Chains A and B, each alone.
Chain A
Amino acid sequence: MKELIVRFLIGGAIVSLFASLGEIFRPKSFAGLFGAAPSIALATIGLTIAHDGKAYAAVEARSMVFGAAGFFCYASAASWILMRYRPRALTVTIALLPLWLGTSLGLWLLFSR
């Protein structure tokens, strides 16, 4: 339980920090870079190394490459749909989450077997 609370606090703080950087900078396309900052990774890698070792963290990082590829497809699709059809941002970004999961998991299955 203690570990979960520590993860929650560290994760919340780092994600908030990168979100703040995204608010500070202009233009918006530059600020958007912080939306894909390695916030969760930075929050958890240290704890993972401490609990499970470097080899375990390295396996996670390898999978993170596929997660980043999924994020790229997800963000590109969200950007295109928002610009082309102008629906509500929250609707699009939530509705497209299965695209992230499908792409990430598909690439991981393809390259890890």
Chain B
Amino acid sequence: MVEAKLSALKGIKPHEWAVRFVFGGLCTVVAGLIAKHFGPGVGGLFLAFPAIFPAGASLIEAHEKEHKARIGFDGTMRGRAAASVDAAGAAIGCIGLAGFAVVVWRGLELHNACVVIGLAAVVWAGLSLGFWMARKSGAGRRALGRR
């Protein structure tokens, strides 16, 4: 079951917010500069650059480690496993990301840009959620079958 915990935001330190903002901003600037220098063909690849993925995975590992340390355990291995699960989720999200790109690519020249970008965002969310649920239910069935 998916749950949202707004309180999780309180655990993010100011420098972690700063890292994400700066990385995100820099990646966006670099993507634009690459497109200008090498053309839109190469530049477009960087629209799907894993912008904050390394920083995000590292923060997940650190948070999990801190969480375990508070109750007297070494959470190093658990932190790395949590980063692995997060990466598996990102891999599923990439299917949605490709869907987003296809909608923008095919729709932009024919329709209103705002409508196309809005539709592409819906396609990203729909595909990501759909494949995540399919994987989750598939994994659940396999686990039940093993019993």
- Interface bits B34-54 vs A (CB < 8 Å: 1, else 0): 010000111111111111111
What chain A residues lie within 8 Å of B132 (beta carbons)?
Answer: 29-30, 33
- Interface bits A5-38 vs B (CB < 8 Å: 1, else 0): 0011111111110011011111111111111111
What chain A residues lie within 8 Å of B143 (beta carbons)?
Answer: none
A94 within 8 A of B: yes
Interface pair A67/B79, CB less than 8 Å apart: no
Task: Determine which of A9, A25, A41, A100 lies in contact with B2 in the assembled complex, contact meaning CB atoms within 8 Å.
Answer: A25
- Interface bits A31-55 vs B (CB < 8 Å: 1, else 0): 1111111111111111111001011
Main secondary structure of the interface of B (DSSP, over half): helix
Interface pair A28/B47, CB less than 8 Å apart: no
Interface pair A43/B21, CB less than 8 Å apart: no
What chain A residues lie within 8 Å of B4 (beta carbons)?
Answer: 24-26
B134 within 8 A of A: no
What chain A residues lie within 8 Å of B41 (beta carbons)?
Answer: 59, 62-63, 108, 112
In the bound complex, CA of A16 to CA of B53 (Å): 12
Residue of A9, A43, A89, A90 with highest tally of chain B CB at under 10 A: A89
What chain A residues lie within 8 Å of B9 (beta carbons)?
Answer: 20, 23-24
What chain A residues lie within 8 Å of B91 (beta carbons)?
Answer: 32, 36, 72, 75-76, 79
Known contacts A29-B85, A93-B50, A104-B48: A63-B124 contact under CB 8 Å: no
Task: Determine which of A3, A40, A54 lies in contact with B108 in the assembled complex, contact meaning CB atoms within 8 Å.
Answer: A54
Show 17 A/B contacts (Cβ-Cβ < 8 Å), sorted by A: A14-B28, A24-B8, A29-B132, A33-B90, A33-B93, A36-B91, A37-B93, A54-B113, A57-B113, A61-B44, A67-B48, A72-B95, A74-B50, A75-B88, A78-B84, A87-B80, A88-B61
Binding site for B on A (CB under 8 A): 3-4, 7-16, 19-20, 22-49, 52, 54-72, 74-76, 78-80, 82-83, 86-90, 92-94, 97, 100, 104-105, 108, 112
